[in-house]
Chain A
Amino acid sequence: MVELMNAERGTEQALERVGDARAMEAVDETFEALYRQRYRDVYRYTLLMLRRAEDANDVTSEAFHRAYVAWQSGHGPSGQPLPWLLLIARRSVIDKMRRRRLISWLPLGRLSPAHEPCDQAETGRTEFWLWFDRFAQELPERQREVLILRYQRDLDNEAIGEILGLSTSGVSSLVARACKTLRRNPEIWR
């Protein structure tokens, strides 16, 4: 009788594990779909905030790792997944910026006088970073960030506010101030 009870308990435990494993696989598949769908969105945000591909790689991976851990433990997004992911990424970005104490940044680290762009694609990249450098010089960090987030068409003011910790009207006000800055610097938007 004792042996039978133990066997039953063993079976129950095995069943629980199987159930857990199936549930875990479902979680993995769903999160993997989200990862594939939103990786570029998160990477784009981290790249524009940190302006270094290596850092963007690290921070994006870290953000998805954090998101996955939260997802597994039942703390996934309560609404749309993208603002949730970007909020996690933003925390990682802030951590990274604090660590490296980003004071100034030169967009042409690889472009010494001896290094000229060798093809059209590289010229395009250099032109973009030159433009972005100007963009970053003229717009304060918060204004810059709100325009980076607005670039994501999926995000409305409410979602951006959720990420930045602002009200909807706060986001509108920030955008208005950014527009005022842009109006003084036509070379940024023309």
Chain B
Amino acid sequence: MNMNAIGPNGPSDDELLAGVRRRMSAVESLVPLPRAWDGAGVRVGSAVRAGVRSRVGFAGLVPLVLVAVLVVVAIGNGMAGRPAGGPSASASPQGQTVMTYELETPNGVAPTSADLQAAVTILSARLGATGITGVSVFAVEPRSIEVTFPASSNMEQIQALVGQTGNIEFVWLPPAQYGTSTEAGSKAVPVRGAAIDPALPAQFSGADLDAAQIKVVPDVAMEGDWAVQFGFKDPAAGEFETWTATHVHEFFAIVLDGVVQAVPSVANAATGGSGYISAGYTRAHADAIATVLEYGALPYPLRLVSIESSVAVLSAGPAGSAGAQASFPAIVAPSIRTPTDIPSAGRALGVATAPVTLDLWVDFQCSPCR
């Protein structure tokens, strides 16, 4: 059956399944974070470890024991091979990237578990609403969130979804300073990408938006570009209509995470309490912003701490040589860590606006040596 078939009287299968997925994503708020690994199934292992500690305490055996450990581990991993399907590094997902973020709370106070969970829920919902596969989000107490995904995934797309706080504001630009669409003011109207003057108060925020009305639509102002349509929920819809009726020709800035996205002027009263953000977006960028707005803002901004990739680069010996493949262990995973310090404005736009320090060290090792 063609999954994209559109029936004579109804939606395609893809539309049906997307609708179910959207409704089902509400379950994310009911799914808790994993409890600490309490070793419920580790009783056997614990007993063994206890026995070993008492032996190691016998000073005369220590050097011998250490040497022997290396030998046993090397033989165990390299020569004997791993049991098929057994618990080993090979059973863990290969070729993964792990991005670690930290919640940036005011004064560095640790976020509550509820905030951490809320952030995980929102990020899971954002990522779950897209077509990205294999992504998982989990919290690491006290303030970190790890996003794991296959190395083959589009990291920029994931960063665009995860890195944004999603705090949208509609900021009025007073005509006494910024003028109107018919008369210039003493100050220049901020351009797209500029930081908004924090002294200007927001008239409306993302909390006033109706998630069901957020859509990506073709930009009527510029062919080929895409815009994000939004609508306010009650009572903000009525307030927005009243506000626009009393501020005709005046400018207001639509600001996402402190960065100006668009500066429309009010042509006339926005009946119905809706509008759209036209900022020359590509389809992918508009999709990311719509998704971020749909699932709400994170409780605190996120700071990217590190990106760690492990990529399987070589499976074994010479191709076609089964004997060689059996003899040589796999060479795996140069470990790449990239401590980053990218300002959130640059990250939000996908453009680094400051020098980025990239520390990269790679060591190729065969698996027993790691």
* Residues of A participating in the B interface, judged by any CB pair closer than 8 Å: 11, 14-25, 27-28, 30-41, 43-44, 47-48, 53, 61, 64-65, 68-69, 71-72, 74-78, 80-81, 121, 124-125, 127-128, 131-132, 135, 147-148, 150-151, 153-154, 172-173, 175-176, 179, 182-183, 188-190
Asked if B138 lies at the interface with its beta carbon under 8 angstroms from chain A, I say yes
**Roughly how many angstroms separate A32 CA and B314 CA in the complex, as a whole number?**
26
Given that A15-B65, A21-B52, A30-B92 are known contacts, is A150 also in contact with B17, CB under 8 Å in the complex?
Answer: yes
Smallest CB gap from B16: residue in A: A182
* Least distance between B60 CB and chain A CB atoms (Å): 10
B17 partner, pick from A14, A127, A179, beta carbons under 8 A: A179
**Roughly how many angstroms separate A188 CA and B45 CA in the complex, as a whole number?**
48
Residues of chain A with a CB closer than 8 A to B318's CB: none
**Roughly how many angstroms separate A189 CA and B65 CA in the complex, as a whole number?**
63
> Can you list the 8 inter-chain pairs with the closest CB atoms, starting with the nearest?
A189-B19, A19-B72, A39-B34, A68-B41, A74-B86, A15-B68, A74-B83, A128-B26
**Roughly how many angstroms separate A35 CA and B199 CA in the complex, as a whole number?**
46
Asked if B106 lies at the interface with its beta carbon under 8 angstroms from chain A, I say no
Asked if B91 lies at the interface with its beta carbon under 8 angstroms from chain A, I say yes
Binds A, one of B7-15, B241-249, B351-359: B7-15
Asked if B193 lies at the interface with its beta carbon under 8 angstroms from chain A, I say no
B45 partner, pick from A18, A28, A175, beta carbons under 8 A: A28
B72→A75 contact, CB < 8 A:
no
Name 29 interchain pairs, CB-CB below 8 A, sorted by A.
A14-B52, A14-B55, A18-B55, A18-B72, A19-B69, A19-B72, A24-B45, A36-B140, A37-B136, A39-B138, A44-B27, A47-B30, A61-B40, A65-B41, A72-B44, A76-B85, A76-B88, A78-B85, A125-B30, A128-B26, A128-B30, A147-B24, A151-B24, A153-B134, A154-B136, A182-B20, A183-B10, A188-B20, A189-B11
B48→A17 contact, CB < 8 A:
yes
Given that A74-B85, A77-B85, A124-B29 are known contacts, is A183 also in contact with B136, CB under 8 Å in the complex?
Answer: no
Residues of chain B with a CB closer than 8 A to A32's CB: 37
* Residues of B participating in the A interface, judged by any CB pair closer than 8 Å: 1, 3, 7, 10-11, 13, 15-17, 19-21, 23-35, 37, 39-42, 44-45, 48-49, 51-52, 55-56, 61, 64-65, 68-69, 72-73, 76, 83-89, 91-93, 120, 124, 127-128, 131-136, 138, 140, 148
**Roughly how many angstroms separate A36 CA and B147 CA in the complex, as a whole number?**
12
Residues of chain A with a CB closer than 8 A to B20's CB: 135, 147, 151, 182, 188-189
Residues of chain A with a CB closer than 8 A to B39's CB: 28
A65 partner, pick from B1, B25, B40, B76, beta carbons under 8 A: B40
Smallest CB gap from A190: residue in B: B19
A41→B136 contact, CB < 8 A:
yes
**Roughly how many angstroms separate A151 CA and B124 CA in the complex, as a whole number?**
12
Given that A15-B69, A28-B45 are known contacts, is A131 also in contact with B85, CB under 8 Å in the complex?
Answer: no
**Roughly how many angstroms separate A38 CA and B40 CA in the complex, as a whole number?**
17
**Roughly how many angstroms separate A78 CA and B83 CA in the complex, as a whole number?**
10
B13 partner, pick from A17, A48, A53, A176, beta carbons under 8 A: A176
B92 partner, pick from A34, A125, A147, beta carbons under 8 A: A34
Given that A37-B148, A81-B92 are known contacts, is A179 also in contact with B16, CB under 8 Å in the complex?
Answer: yes
* Least distance between B26 CB and chain A CB atoms (Å): 4
**Roughly how many angstroms separate A158 CA and B83 CA in the complex, as a whole number?**
25
B37→A154 contact, CB < 8 A:
no
A153 partner, pick from B1, B85, B133, beta carbons under 8 A: B133
**Roughly how many angstroms separate A37 CA and B140 CA in the complex, as a whole number?**
11
Given that A40-B34, A41-B136, A154-B134 are known contacts, is A72 also in contact with B41, CB under 8 Å in the complex?
Answer: yes
Given that A18-B68, A36-B34 are known contacts, is A69 also in contact with B52, CB under 8 Å in the complex?
Answer: no
A35→B37 contact, CB < 8 A:
yes
**Roughly how many angstroms separate A151 CA and B19 CA in the complex, as a whole number?**
11
Most A CB within 10 A of own CB, among B31, B35, B64: B31
* Least distance between B224 CB and chain A CB atoms (Å): 29
B87 partner, pick from A43, A64, A76, A179, beta carbons under 8 A: A76
B65→A18 contact, CB < 8 A:
yes
A22→B32 contact, CB < 8 A:
no
B1→A17 contact, CB < 8 A:
no
A36→B138 contact, CB < 8 A:
yes
B26 partner, pick from A30, A124, A147, A188, beta carbons under 8 A: A124
**Roughly how many angstroms separate A44 CA and B16 CA in the complex, as a whole number?**
21
B56→A18 contact, CB < 8 A:
yes
